[in-house]
Amino acid sequence: MKVAVVGVTGLVGNVMCQVLTERNFPLTEFIPVASTRSVGKKISFKGNEHTIISMEDAVAARPDLALFSAGGSVSLEWAPKFEAVGSIVIDNSSAWRMDPTRPLVVPEVNAQVLTGKEGIIANPNCSTIQMVVALQPLHEAYKMKRLVISTYQSITGTGVKAVKQFDAERTGQATGKNEQAYPHPIFNNCIPHCDIFLDNDYTKEEMKLVHETRKIMGIPNLAVTATAVRVPVHGGHSECVNIEFENEFDIENVKSLLANADGLTLIDNIKSNEYPMPLAAHHKDGVFVGRVRRDESQPNSLNIWVVADNLRKGAATNTIQIAEYLVNNNLVKAAASTVA
């Protein structure tokens, strides 16, 4: 099992390597891949030193799996080249997510869409991933009608540049305009602006929550509206999700469904001030849900609070879980065998 990590020097690429190690993923050859400025540098993986190689050399190596976290433009150019030599690409960018020919997968929700014939599999947006894990058991029980979402997203979701801006502001260092990831200070601030603004005055991040949720959960007409906010947090993303159902629900049954769902941990004891927080979710693979309560202003409606580490379950861990599903169901070889 040859596994390439493309974008290995980035935040998500680094965490992918950690998760592959922690989960003892069954690879026999590790292929670290990055941009030309990193080619030839050394990287440690499972206690061994490896040399970072170029995209061209990685394609020539014909890895069984290519785990991408290198940005949309890179993925659009190179993922099809890996696919052409028989590799299965699991891509973290937004490049393929809404392509109707490419599956968009969160294993706890829709792993069954994978058949072994996919050459490129899209990994959803970080804020979408954690939310749909929490929504799936509730939708199965009560049928969702509408979502109103507010997200509070970590600076790590933007990348290294944002972390550097935060650290510089925290320590009082001056930064040039080109060194800033955001148009405003992020230290001691909240910015209601994640990604670029679109023609409808929503940001791209907000519309990802709309379109990706519909695709993953197979509800094309689900009513969804979202506001995404960047907050000065390292540990993970938090979300307030208001859900309107077609059917009435029992609040204790809701909590039972959440407590027993795959990939979810219910933390909901307000008497002891216990609820999910990004500080507690940091470096963990699961999704945490709490503050479960009925919306008293609207029939059949519920409020929940969802938290996860955006670099792990929101990116790297979900990628590795997809890879594990492919391996455990003998779908990797099936995909490779379709290439002449």
Is the confidence at residue 334, as pLDDT, over 90? no
Across the range 274-285, mean pLDDT stands at: 96
Summary mean pLDDT of the chain: 95
Q: Round to whole Å and give the CA distance between 295 and 79.
A: 44
When pLDDT is averaged across residues 40-54 and rounded to a whole number, the result is 96
Distance set, CA 226 to CA 97, 152, 203, 204, 237 (Å): 18, 11, 9, 11, 14
Burial of 261 (0-12, 13-18, 19+ CB in 10 A): buried
Report the alpha-carbon distance of residue 335 to residue 183 in Å, rounded: 44
Q: Which residues contact 111 (CB under 8 A, 6 or more apart)?
A: 105, 322, 325
The pTM of this model reads: 0.95
Cα separation, 137 vs 127, in Å, equals 18
What is the rounded average pLDDT of the residues 189-206?
98
- Is the pLDDT score of 91 beyond 80? yes
Query: Tokens representing 96?
Result: 């393929």
- Residue-wise pLDDT for 223-256, tens only, equals 999 999 999 999 899 999 999 999 999 999 999 9
Q: Of the candidates 150, 91, 82, 89, which has an alpha carbon nearest to the alpha carbon of residue 118?
A: 89
Residue 336 is predicted with a pLDDT of 53
- Picking from 1, 4, 98, the residue whose alpha carbon sits closest to that of residue 328 is 1
Q: What is the pLDDT of residues 57-70, one digit of tens each?
A: 999 999 999 999 99
The pLDDT of 106-116, averaged and rounded, is 96
Q: Is the confidence at residue 291, as pLDDT, over 60? A: yes
Whether residue 56 has pLDDT greater than 50: yes
pLDDT at 338 over 70: no
pLDDT score for 294: 98
82 contact partners, CB below 8 Å, separation of at least 6 = 4, 58, 59, 63, 66, 89, 119
- Which H helix or E strand runs over 280? helix 278-281
Residues labelled catalytic? 126, 237
Domains and CATH numbers, the chain: 2-124+315-336 (3.40.50.720), 127-310 (3.30.360.10)
Q: Which tens digit of pLDDT belongs to each residue from 3-44?
A: 999 999 999 999 999 999 999 999 999 999 999 999 999 999
Per-residue pLDDT of 143-187, as tens digits, reads 999 999 999 999 999 998 999 999 999 999 977 878 899 999 999
Find how far residue 81's CA is from the centre of its chain. Answer: 24
Cα–Cα distance measured from residue 137 to residue 60, given in angstroms and rounded to the nearest whole number = 43
pLDDT higher than threshold 80 for residue 339: no
Model pLDDT, residue 178? 82
Per 3-state DSSP, the chain is made up of helix, strand and coil in percentages (nearest 5) of 35, 25, 40
Q: What are the DSSP calls for 66-133, one per residue?
A: EEE-S-HHHHHHHHHHHHHTTPEEEE-SSSSTT-TTS-B--HHHHGGG--S--SEEEPPPHHHHHHHH
What does the buried/exposed string (b/e) look like for 266-300 if buried means 16 or more CB atoms within 10 Å of the residue's CB? bbbeeeeeebbbbebbbebbbbbbbebeeeeeeeb
Q: How are beta strands 48-51 and 42-45 bridged, if at all?
A: antiparallel
Higher pLDDT, 336 or 197: 197
Q: What is the pLDDT of residue 217?
A: 98
Helix H or strand E segment including 211: helix 204-217
Share of the chain above pLDDT 90, in %: 94
pLDDT of the residue at 179: 86
